Every structure is written in structure tokens, then in C-alpha cells.
Structure 1
Amino acid sequence: MKATRQLHDLGQSLWLDNITRTLLDDGTLARYISEDSVTGLTSNPSIFDAAIGDGDAYDACIHAKALAGLSGEKLFIELALEDLRRAADLFEPVFQRTAGVDGWVSMEVSPLLAQDSAGSIAAARQIHAAARRDNLFVKIPGTPEGIPAIEEAIFLGIPINVTLLFSCAHYLAAAEAYMRGIERRIDAKLDPRVGSVASLFISRWDVASNKQLPDELHNKLGIAVGQQTYRAYRELLDSPRWQKLAAAGARPQRLLWASTGTKDPAAPDTLYVSALAAPNTVNTLPEKTLQAFADHGRLEGVMAIDGGDADAVLARIGKAGVDVDALALKLQQEGAQAFVKSWQQLLQRIADKASALDDKAGGPALR
């Protein structure tokens, strides 16, 4: 049995951390679903920037939409949602079979709104309405300004993927926002079943800290933060507050492992997948990591619900000079800035392609 199937049978959802039109057109995504137990998909501005810049798969569509008068963010959203609707339809059988627990795709609000609560809410409503798919998450970053937007979006019944979480404290803030949104829905006599995941980024911890740590602590910090957060997740699900919501029909906001591709060439290419095996969670895998785990991955046990050795490892890392709390803040801020950069590159790439395609067609340049 493939290791990917073993994880699926354990109760962990494997989602592809990628989308391209080519993956949809040539049947690769369908093959990942049928052969590698992939049951969902995530996207972000960096993924779409790479997809649109690689080859000509999007050229005809960009040209047609530009001729129709679309540009900038509006053109991109239509372009992205075309792909995501197709992917959502591929995952629809999973979504139906699991009663909405699994089978999701994700679309991010503009990263320029990371510090704009009202703008994030408006963008989430727009994307949710335009998608016309029940199994599409809108991604909102779990920044301090994003937390109120997450609560309000959940209250409005918009499924939310909370992104850019780096610490246990970040996760708990997102979980609180989710529960407040559900509690408000119950008070308003609305359906409490609103899908959500909380995405904790893993590998960036180690990229940022390895150079400050002795060799024996390399690639330990991300996993330790994951273990600590998994303990908090399980404790929250056992809490009286959550049990009351569950009794009213609410669904858990599942913990999702993001950024699980190995960045250190000296480490195993399936390091984070094996270490983060846990039921009732999601792991979003870059394509190379999915292929590697399907080929030679091994399931080496299940995460301990008590956090395992996370506290001891974090204490050693702190003694070695890494301020984990300060680094969490830095990583979230840098992550938001990186998505802004990718967003700007993406919109510029689309504008450049639209102009070049228009010139090639012999029409007046659309600028």
C-alpha cells in the first residue's frame, strides 16, 4: 500500500499545494486523486504567478479577457476561479462523500488587504459569490487585522482557510475567531456548519533558524511548533466550549500543515510529511513532495496528542539563542510581504502578457 494511502487511512487529508491549467488539462490532478489519495488543493499568489508565467497555457484566456475590458485584479480573479472551479468539480465526489469535511480548494484574497479587515471581508464575499462552488475556501491571513475579518466571514457563512499562521498562539487566535463566528451564527439561529481550516506553516521555521542552531537541532523547530500546536488543537476539541458547539451541529476547524516541502537539501525530502502524520488534520504537499512520499515515503508513527518532546526541544532551541515568539512575528510579517511581492509580480505578468498578445494580434495595445 502506498504511503499516501496509509496517511489517508490514518485520517489525514492530503491536499496538493499547487494548481496549473496544465495539471487540469492533461489529467495529472485527476491521477493524483485516483492514485495518490489527494482529496483537496490549495493555491496562493506565488503558485498562480509561477503557473501563468510558465508557458502559454493561459495566453488565449488572458487575451480574450483583456479584449473584453478586464485588467488587473479582476482579470486575475476570473482566471484563477476558472481553474479552481474545475478543480472543485473534481473534488466534489469527496466533498459529498465526507459531508463537506474534505474535498476543498482554496482561493486567496488580495495580500494587499492583510492589514485591512473591512477590505478582507468585502473581498471574501466577492470571491465566495463569484466562485459558485460550495467546496471553495477563501483564504484570509491570520494577522492581527485578519482575525476580525475571519470571525465576520465565518458569521456570514463563508468557508475560510486561515493562512499565514506560524505559532501555537497564532493558531489559537484563529480558532477563537472561528468559534466566535459560529457562536454568533447559533445566536442568530443560523446553520453552524461553516467549513474552515487553520494553516500552520512549518518549514519556514527551519529555514530561518537553522543557521543559528547547532547541527543536532537543525530542522527541529518547525516540527516542535507543529507538535505544540497539535496538542492545543486536540485540547480545544475536548474543551466544554467546543463540545457545546459540536452538540449544536458545528464542525471542527481542522488544523492544516502548510509549507511542508523540505528546504534543507541535507534532510529527507519527506521529513515533514512523516513527522506530521496525525488524524483529523490536513497536509498540503508541494507536487515534488507528494511524488516523493508516494514513491518512497514511510509512515513512522502518529503524532502524540500530548505534544511529545516539543517542550523540551523548544527549550533547547531557546537556550541556543532563538527567540521563538519574536521569530513567529517576523515570519508572519515576512510571509505577508512575500505574498504582496508575488501578487504584484503576478498582476504585472498578466498585464505584460495581455499587452504582448494584443500587439501580436495586431490590435491596439490594452494598457
Structure 2
Amino acid sequence: MTSGAPRALNELGQSLWLDNITRDLLDSGRLQGYIDDLSVTGLTSNPTIFDHAISRSAAYDVEIHRQLDAGQSGEELFFNLAVQDLTRAADLFAPVHARTGTVDGFVSLEVSPLLAYDTRATVAQAKALHAQANRPNLFIKIPGTTEGLQAIEQAIFAGVPVNVTLLFSTVQYKAAADAYLKGLERRVAAGLSPDVRSVASLFVSRWDRAVTAQLPAAMRNTLGIAVSRQAYKAYRDVLESDRFQRLENVGARAQRLLFASTGTKDKHASDTLYISGLAAPNTVNTMPEETLLAFADHGAAPHTLPRDGGDADVVLAAHAKAGIDLTALAAKLQSDGAKGFVESWYELHGAIDAKSRVLA
């Protein structure tokens, strides 16, 4: 029996994805339970998640030892571990993938964050990882940086499904959507199918965390949802555009908007703030395990995001009047996000190296 609040979102047409992956999550049957009971229909990962999964448990030790014996090390060893986990997860979501006409049921694996500003290397790794995983319902995550946008277009043209990550604003979302459409248009021009899937991941809660100290109490925890509402309007505009409809007529599918970073950072705010507040059909909300369980336990019935963005522009204007430079902050959040994943990447490899020395 699926829980009421997650089921209500699912019935609205929004996909609930889990923003977590660990070997224990798979081995214990917990992920399968979330699929069966909490309407979870996909999963995302990132370097920080894998860093915590590998460094804070012994669940990977046997496989690390086996990989070392096979001569693997460093980044190659890590990606072997990650692909093992994510292909297992992809197989659990395969029935969802089939049942939804291949729209849902995806898992995501990120390219090395060290490549965030290297287009050619990003595309090469995206192709290699997707081939290694060999699952139709696996996205390769590529950041929506300027260099990343070029990689997204090329990866889509090459037929690699892409989760565009580290988007923080409507402008950044539109750039990601443009890169996706360019990739599809190039495929059509080359006589290839435009049915290559993608999501565009808008990070939400980091906005509010960044400005809390600069705002009066009444304005706190309102910026992330306002940015999301504005981006949702832009997303609907893209879907209704002549440009996308021409592609849709020859077999393309929507690059769905995904709300990411939806765990509440403010302990004084609702722990389901960014779930109940971001309900919208044909979108995705990927959430931490703690947030998923909280929403299943006491989540409120969601109100659908307004097609026109509602009061988004008014709220954003109020923040600008309060001294928040939204354009500069969006750029900073994206840059800081990329740097944060690099730090986690180094910590992850440090943990693997330390375990390798012990296990060797």
C-alpha cells in the first residue's frame, strides 16, 4: 500500500526520485521498499553521495579488494563501484521505465567534476560511462556550466541521455534547454531519432541558505520556491514552443524539469517545504531519504505550481529590492556547487586510496 502524500504527487504526474545511493540501500531491500510503498520512481547520485557511501561504511570493502586484485585503482576503480550500484538500481526501476513508456524510472551517474570546464573530456567520459553501464534508463549527469552546455549538446547528439545538473536560475535553465534542443535538431538533420531523454536539474534550497542572514524573517525560505516557479513557467513555455513541437512531431520527448536540492536546510522551516511547495505535473522532485520519509509521514496535500509562475516575479523583485543580486548569486551558486563536488571528489578518492592501502 503506497503512502498517501507520495501517491498524491505521483497521481498529479510528478516523479518522486530518491537523491541517494548506497550498497546497503540495495542489499537491504530498502530501495525496493521505497519503490513499492512510497511511489519512488527514480534515483540520483552525485560525488558527495558516493563519498559518504564509500567512506562511512565497510559495505564496499570486499569489492574494493577485488578491484585492487584485478589491477584497478583511482578513478577507474570508483566508476566500477558506481556503475555496479547504479546498474542494480536501474534494473529495479526497469519496470517503472517500461510502464511509463520510458519516460520515468531513471537513475543518474555524474561525470568527474574535474571535467566541469572541459567540453571534450566530458563528452568522451559521458559516452564511455553510458556504454559501460549499458542501461537505457541511466542518465549521465553533466553540469550546466558554459563548457558543460557544449558537452550536453554533443552528448545528446551522440545519443547519450543527460541529466543537466547544477542549474540555479531561469536563465541557466533556458540555456540547458537550448543545448538539449540543439542536440536533438542536429540528430534530426543527420537522419537520427530525436528520442534521447534528458532532465534539467534546478537546485532549490541553496538559494535560501545563501540569503537567510540578509533577509527579514518574513522573507526567509521564499526565494528558492520563487526561482522554481519562474523556471517552471519557462519550462512550460519551452514545451509549448513551435521549436519543441516540431521536434515532438518527429519523435522527441520533453526534457523534464527536475527540482533538486530539496532537503530543507533551515531547522525552523517545514522539513517538507520544497516537496509540498513544488508539485507540478511532468516534472521530477529528487529528495534526500530523510525528506522522503518525512513527506510520507506527514506531508501535506500538494498545491500545483501555477502555469504562469504565480507571484514569482513579485517575490524575486522584493529580494532584489532587499539587496540580493540574483544574477550574481546564481553564478556564484553554480560555481560553488561545482567546487563542492570537486572537493567531495578528492575526499572520495582519498577514502578509496586509504581503504586500498589497508585492504592491499
The interval holding the TM-score normalised by the smaller chain is over 0.9
The alpha carbon displacement at 1:308 in A equals 0.5
The alpha carbon displacement at 1:271 in A equals 0.3
Give, in whole Å, the separation in 2 of the partners of 1:295 and 1:229: 29
| TM score, norm. by length of structure 2 | 0.99
Listed as ranges, the matches of 1:159-198 within 5 Å are 159-198=161-200
Contact 1:200 1:256 in 2 (8 A): yes
Give, in whole Å, the separation in 2 of the partners of 1:278 and 1:137: 22
Paired residue for 2:267? 265
Give, in whole Å, the separation in 2 of the partners of 1:300 and 1:159: 30
Contact 2:177 2:200 in 1 (8 A): yes
The alpha carbon displacement at 1:247 in A equals 0.6
For 1:106, give the aligned amino acid. Answer: S
| TM score, norm. by length of structure 1 | 0.97
Identity fraction in percent? 61
Give, in whole Å, the separation in 2 of the partners of 1:156 and 1:306: 34
Paired residue for 1:15? 17
CA root-mean-square deviation: 0.6
For 2:274, give the aligned amino acid. Answer: Y
The alpha carbon displacement at 1:2 in A equals 1.1
Contact 2:19 2:44 in 1 (8 A): yes
Give, in whole Å, the separation in 1 of the partners of 2:242 and 2:147: 28
Pairing partner for 2:90 from 88, 96, 102: 88
The alpha carbon displacement at 1:206 in A equals 0.4
The alpha carbon displacement at 1:209 in A equals 0.8
Moved more, 252-261 or 233-242: 233-242
Cα shift readout 1:86-135 (whole Å, capped 9, x = no counterpart): 00000000111112100000000000000000010001011011001111
Cα shift readout 1:53-99 (whole Å, capped 9, x = no counterpart): 12210000001101211111000000000000100000000111112
Aligned length: 358
Pairing partner for 1:249 from 248, 251, 256: 251
Give, in whole Å, the separation in 2 of the partners of 1:198 and 1:337: 20
The alpha carbon displacement at 1:205 in A equals 0.3
For 2:236, give the aligned amino acid. Answer: R
The alpha carbon displacement at 1:279 in A equals 0.3
For 1:339, give the aligned amino acid. Answer: F
Give, in whole Å, the separation in 2 of the partners of 1:33 and 1:5: 11
The alpha carbon displacement at 1:227 in A equals 0.2
Paired residue for 1:288? 290
Paired residue for 2:337? 335
Cα shift readout 1:215-244 (whole Å, capped 9, x = no counterpart): 111001100000000000001111111111
Gaps of 5+ in 1: 359-367
Pairing partner for 2:46 from 44, 47, 60: 44
The alpha carbon displacement at 1:350 in A equals 0.4
Paired residue for 2:64? 62
Contact 2:17 2:41 in 1 (8 A): yes
Pairing partner for 1:99 from 101, 116, 124: 101
Pairing partner for 2:242 from 240, 243, 262: 240
Give, in whole Å, the separation in 1 of the partners of 2:248 and 2:302: 31
Give, in whole Å, the separation in 1 of the partners of 2:102 and 2:122: 24
Cα shift readout 1:232-277 (whole Å, capped 9, x = no counterpart): 0001111111111111110000000000000000000000000000
Give, in whole Å, the separation in 2 of the partners of 1:263 and 1:25: 29
Contact 2:9 2:302 in 1 (8 A): no
Paired residue for 1:123? 125
The alpha carbon displacement at 1:345 in A equals 0.5
The secondary structure found in structure 2 opposite 1:327 is helix
Give, in whole Å, the separation in 1 of the partners of 2:278 and 2:174: 19
Are positions 1:315 and 2:317 aligned together?
A: yes
The secondary structure found in structure 2 opposite 1:145 is helix
Paired residue for 2:142? 140
For 1:47, give the aligned amino acid. Answer: I
The secondary structure found in structure 1 opposite 2:194 is coil
Are positions 1:76 and 2:44 aligned together?
A: no
Moved more, 52-61 or 159-168: 52-61
Contact 2:203 2:259 in 1 (8 A): yes
For 2:301, give the aligned amino acid. Answer: L
For 1:313, give the aligned amino acid. Answer: V
For 1:208, give the aligned amino acid. Answer: A
Give, in whole Å, the separation in 1 of the partners of 2:342 and 2:220: 29
The alpha carbon displacement at 1:300 in A equals 3.4
Contact 2:263 2:291 in 1 (8 A): yes
Give, in whole Å, the separation in 1 of the partners of 2:351 and 2:72: 14
Contact 2:19 2:286 in 1 (8 A): yes
For 2:77, give the aligned amino acid. Answer: L
Give, in whole Å, the separation in 1 of the partners of 2:25 and 2:56: 12
The secondary structure found in structure 2 opposite 1:283 is strand
Contact 1:12 1:282 in 2 (8 A): yes
Contact 1:277 1:299 in 2 (8 A): no
